[in-house]
Amino acid sequence: MTDNSLPQDLEKGNSSHLQGNNGYSSTEFDQPQLQESTGNPITKITTSPNGDIIYLGNQSFHRHELVNAFAGDLNPGLHRQPFRPMGNPVPLGLSGFAVCCFVVSLVNLQTRGVENVKIIASCALFFGGVIEVIAGLWCLVIENTFAATALGSYGGFWMSYGALNIDAFGIVSSYKTQEEYTNALGLFLAAWFIFSFLMWLCTFKATWPFFILFFFLWTFILMLSIGYLENSTGCIKAGGALGILATFTAFYIILAGVVTNSNSYFTIPALPMPGAPTV
């Protein structure tokens, strides 16, 4: 195949050139790398002899149409550039998460003697909650399912956590004892630990910042859950320390998502994980 003899079905996004190798180079992966709009897994990546056309399962794309996994847009796999000319909502949503996580973690560490976490209520409801959910919904528009799931879910987490710290909701006062409330809070956090761990499993073929962020995230929530269930100040402080690490990893990813050659003298490298597919 040459540059002036492209497959006729390229514009349709389908490929009928995968019956055999026929001079095409291909790479097999153990796990699905990309998914079609129908949800069928794609495990085979094939390129044309000149490398300009890439076949993902039965779809075909020009190389410049595809983007490697990049933490700045919270997309853990090889993916196509969205056709819609719009900005990247991920840094906005992740900023809401990072700021709330930073404040909560400092309180969990009892920084400067502060132990009352109610200061987070307004920030959790609006910045970590509403803004993050909006960013997550916008990720659906740009066809980024992972980011939409993560930002939308954690936006809901911060809104619910903010509600816990607002007396008008009457949630805390509804428990008979403080012990019952802390046990309930530990169970609440345990559910979010499971969710965060599952999201972390989706980052093994993404980038190192991506992987590290979700690793710190699920360990941060796990330690808080154990701390409240076992009434362990040490575990809660450990969770606070892990939350600080998650926060600064998130800040790094936020910078990666907004810094460009046009607004900065440097850009952030993607740092792909071992075995991550790249173009």
Residue ranges per domain, the chain?
A: 89-258
Neighbours of 232 (CB within 10 A): 14
Which pair of structure tokens corresponds to residue 159?
Answer: 């809104």
| Rounded Cα–Cα distance for residues 24 and 57 (Å) | 13
pLDDT in tens, 107-128: 999 999 999 999 999 999 999 9
Sign of CA dihedral 177, 181, 182, 184: positive
Q: For residue 182, give the nearest of 128, 146, 236, 244 by alpha carbon.
A: 236
Which pair of structure tokens corresponds to residue 215?
Answer: 């690793």
Higher pLDDT, 61 or 162: 162
pLDDT of residue 45: 60
SS3 28: strand
Mean pLDDT of 85-98: 91
Does the structure show a pLDDT above 50 at 27? Answer: no
Q: Name the residue type at position 86.
A: M
Which pair of structure tokens corresponds to residue 58?
Answer: 């039965």
Specify which of 20-34, 39-53, 150-164 reaches the highest per-range mean pLDDT: 150-164
Alpha helices for 202-232 (secondary structure H): 208-229
| Rounded Cα–Cα distance for residues 245 and 266 (Å) | 23
pLDDT of residue 54: 60
Which pair of structure tokens corresponds to residue 229?
Answer: 């269930």
DSSP state letter for 173: G
When mean pLDDT is compared across 76-80, 228-232, 249-253, the lowest value belongs to 76-80
Mean pLDDT of 241-268: 94
Higher pLDDT, 143 or 251: 251
| Rounded Cα–Cα distance for residues 71 and 213 (Å) | 10
Mean pLDDT of 1-28: 39
Does the structure show a pLDDT above 90 at 15? Answer: no
Q: H-helix or E-strand containing 35?
A: strand 34-35
> Do 47 and 54 touch, CB atoms closer than 8 A?
yes
| Rounded Cα–Cα distance for residues 68 and 276 (Å) | 9
pLDDT of residue 82: 56
Degrees to nearest 5, angle at CA 267 with 265 and 272: 160
pLDDT in tens, 127-172: 999 999 999 999 998 888 999 999 999 999 999 999 999 999 999 9
Does the structure show a pLDDT above 70 at 254? Answer: yes
pLDDT, the chain, mean: 81
SS3 61: strand
Does the structure show a pLDDT above 90 at 76? Answer: no
Does the structure show a pLDDT above 80 at 85? Answer: no
- Residue 60's pLDDT band (cuts 50, 70, 90): low
| Rounded Cα–Cα distance for residues 217 and 150 (Å) | 12
Degrees to nearest 5, angle at CA 187 with 171 and 215: 120
- Residue 83's pLDDT band (cuts 50, 70, 90): low
